[in-house]
Chain A
Amino acid sequence: MQTVDWIVLIGTLVTIVGYGTYQTRGSKNVQDFLKGGNNSKWWTIGLSVMATQASAITFLSTPGQAFNDGMGFVQFYFGLPLAMVVICMVFIPLYHRLKVYTAYEFLESRFDKKTRTLTAVLFLIQRGLAAGITIFAPAIILSVVLGWNLILLNIIIGILVIIYTVSGGTKAVNVTQKHQMIVIFTGMVIAFILIMHQLPADITFKKAVDIAGASGKMEVLDFSFDLNNRYTIWSGLIGGTFLMLSYFGTDQSQVQRYLSGKSVKEMQLGLIFNGLLKVPMQFFILFIGVMVFVFYQFNASPLNFNPTATQVVLNSEYAQDYKNLEKEHADLFELKQSLITNYKDKNASEILEITHQVDANREAAKVLIEKAGESKDLKVETNDKDYVFIHFILHNLPRGLIGLLLAVILSAAMSSTASELNALASTTTIDLYQNESNKNDDKHMLKVSRLFTLLWGILAIGIACIANLAENLIQLVNIIGSIFYGNVLGIFLLAFFFKHVKANAVFISALITQIIIIALFGLNEFEFIKLPFLWLNFVGCILAIIVALVLSIKDSNTKSKGILIALSGLLIAFGYLIYENSI
């Protein structure tokens, strides 16, 4: 890092935070603080929703994912536009009509207080942990590659976010996210242009894509019905739709973004903006990763991009074996380069063959790293996909742009964390504190909202600081998310579409569903069945609806009974697929 990089990095972050804090200072009441005074235009909402979903890991991991596995991950987003249409049609008009502050507030008006409290508490547990991980995940990567102090970095990111979220609430989150997204888009476009620029002079765009295609990286769509394959068109369209409906429709960190809209129309347009742009945006980020892959076909790359992992294995009894793999890696690079330089369609199969050998070599290196870690009683991250893009940035971008790309990563971390703190504070204030204390004094509630934002911020920093000590915390957070999400979506869909279903049936159904989902997760963990986590949302949602409809069978009409039979048939068919997949 050169001085100019530090100036660009610190200048960008401080300007965004300073401007956001100054512009939105002095919220007069709770509505101002938690709903941004209901003044947001559609483009602010659209960018804010996008910034909330795109965390730092999106920009660190996604190019690395494409580097390893190609473009297939984009299929995961095919459900997003469908979910956006349902949310625009059903969720937004109802939330707006009831003038709710949180998604869970709506459940009390439809069912009862205990259903509202249950869903609010599930959200707080899951999102509270996730807020810590949103800070920790990029901080650990940056601390490894740049040698920065991890704890200090966690604290700096956390404090910067706390400053503007406590000061200006939702309005500050929205304003800063708009500027953060501008920095993010600018940085990614510049990175793409520079990657293309750094390819050899005779490698045109068409030839670069041909090389990526010959190496198997341009297989975007997968039509197979294999449940073990995480990214297929079916998992994206079915599993993805349920996941995105849960996330955008019932997760307060997203709901709060569009509830700040000036009108129903502005809220809907903000989501439509995402429905149109999210898939190409994700495609673009993955494509950057594929072009980084092409770049490394002409430039030597490390066998494993994680410097800590390499250091561990080179200081272990497996050092010689690892060096042998590094030699093979270098030989394969030479061999592949000569084929690629004279690239023609007819040697595409040879290129693919060598790419498979490189992949196998990299996998063998991961096994050695794992063994080296075990021999030293260390937990080492063998999967280096998070380190590919940052390695490229630090070693190949010119001065100043390294600072800008680091600002992109930290801006993304801050924008997601800000939405999370803002939503955690709203849910704690409105769904728990106000609901239990029945206090309505506006000034008091504003103070309480600010206090809860501060407390959740401190807790998030605390979780980020201990995350390195707790093994598999990131995995735990993802698991908690997939275990709860489907059930919560089921409750909301019951509220919207099944008027005859009453509070007790929903509450009992939610508890039964949660037990079954946890049991299914356990069966999958102990390898009795094979059910990828993405499908837990789908099963949880359908199951919650079925159980509630069965419990309300006395009050149901012919249409509801028909839906019950259809959903049961669907679940049985899916159960059969899991059974087939598991044996």
Chain B
Amino acid sequence: MKNYKWNKLYTLVLVANAIYMVVFYLITKAF
């Protein structure tokens, strides 16, 4: 795995995906 470089944009993608899920959870609960 040492050959594969992490990039901060990957963190952004994963965080965005987590935020989408949280927002969808809130939508499910709210409506």
New A-B pairs, 17, CB < 8 Å, besides A89-B7, A268-B7, A272-B12: A71-B27, A78-B17, A78-B20, A81-B16, A81-B17, A82-B17, A85-B13, A85-B14, A89-B6, A218-B27, A218-B28, A219-B28, A220-B25, A220-B28, A275-B17, A276-B16, A279-B17
Is A280 a contact of B20 with CB atoms below 8 Å?
A: yes
Is B28 a contact of A85 with CB atoms below 8 Å?
A: no
Q: List 19 A-B contacts (CB under 8 A).
A: A78-B17, A78-B21, A81-B16, A88-B7, A89-B4, A93-B4, A209-B31, A218-B27, A218-B28, A220-B24, A220-B25, A220-B27, A220-B28, A221-B25, A268-B9, A276-B12, A276-B13, A276-B16, A283-B20
Residue picked from B6, B17, B28, most chain A C-beta under 10 Å: B17
Is B31 a contact of A212 with CB atoms below 8 Å?
A: yes
CA distance A209 to B6 in the complex (A): 40
Is B14 a contact of A272 with CB atoms below 8 Å?
A: no
Is A84 a contact of B13 with CB atoms below 8 Å?
A: yes
Is B21 a contact of A233 with CB atoms below 8 Å?
A: yes
Closest to A280 in B: B20
Name the distance in Å between B9's Cβ and chain A's nearest Cβ: 5
Q: Is A74 an interface residue (CB 8 A)?
A: yes
Known pairs A89-B6, A210-B31, A218-B31; A74 contacts B24 (CB<8 A): yes
Is A81 a contact of B31 with CB atoms below 8 Å?
A: no
Among candidates A89, A213, A272, A275, residue contacting B5 with C-beta atoms closer than 8 Å: A89
Residue picked from A89, A210, A233, most chain B C-beta under 10 Å: A89
Interface of chain B: mostly helix, strand, loop or mixed: helix
Q: Is A182 an interface residue (CB 8 A)?
A: no
Name the distance in Å between A211's Cβ and chain B's nearest Cβ: 9
Q: Is A90 an interface residue (CB 8 A)?
A: yes
What residues of chain A lie closer than 8 Å to B9, measured between beta carbons?
268-269, 272
Closest to A276 in B: B16
Interface size class of B (residues with CB under 8 A): 10 to 19
What residues of chain A lie closer than 8 Å to B14, measured between beta carbons?
81-82, 85
User: Which A190-236 residues sit within 8 Å CB-CB of chain B?
Assistant: 209-210, 212-214, 218-221, 233
Is A89 a contact of B10 with CB atoms below 8 Å?
A: yes
Give the number of chain A interface residues (Cβ < 8 Å). 29
User: Which A66-104 residues sit within 8 Å CB-CB of chain B?
Assistant: 71, 74, 78, 81-82, 84-85, 88-90, 93
CA distance A218 to B24 in the complex (A): 9
What residues of chain A lie closer than 8 Å to B7, measured between beta carbons?
88-89, 268
Closest to B4 in A: A89
CA distance A214 to B31 in the complex (A): 7
Is B31 a contact of A213 with CB atoms below 8 Å?
A: yes
Closest to A272 in B: B9
CA distance A276 to B31 in the complex (A): 25
Residue picked from B6, B12, B27, most chain A C-beta under 10 Å: B27
Name the distance in Å between B10's Cβ and chain A's nearest Cβ: 5
What residues of chain B lie closer than 8 Å to A210, measured between beta carbons?
31
What residues of chain B lie closer than 8 Å to A214, measured between beta carbons?
31
What residues of chain A lie closer than 8 Å to B20, measured between beta carbons?
78, 279-280, 283
CA distance A88 to B25 in the complex (A): 28
* Chain A 258-287: CB-based contact to B (< 8 A → 1; otherwise 0): 000000000011001001100110010000
Name the distance in Å between B19's Cβ and chain A's nearest Cβ: 10
What residues of chain A lie closer than 8 Å to B13, measured between beta carbons?
81, 84-85, 272, 275-276
Name the distance in Å between B5's Cβ and chain A's nearest Cβ: 7
Closest to A85 in B: B10
CA distance A90 to B31 in the complex (A): 40
CA distance A78 to B23 in the complex (A): 13
Closest to B24 in A: A220
CA distance A74 to B23 in the complex (A): 13
CA distance A74 to B17 in the complex (A): 12
CA distance A233 to B18 in the complex (A): 12
What residues of chain B lie closer than 8 Å to A89, measured between beta carbons?
4-7, 10
User: Which A20-76 residues sit within 8 Å CB-CB of chain B?
Assistant: 71, 74
CA distance A218 to B27 in the complex (A): 7
Among candidates A88, A93, A209, residue contacting B10 with C-beta atoms closer than 8 Å: A88
Closest to A84 in B: B13
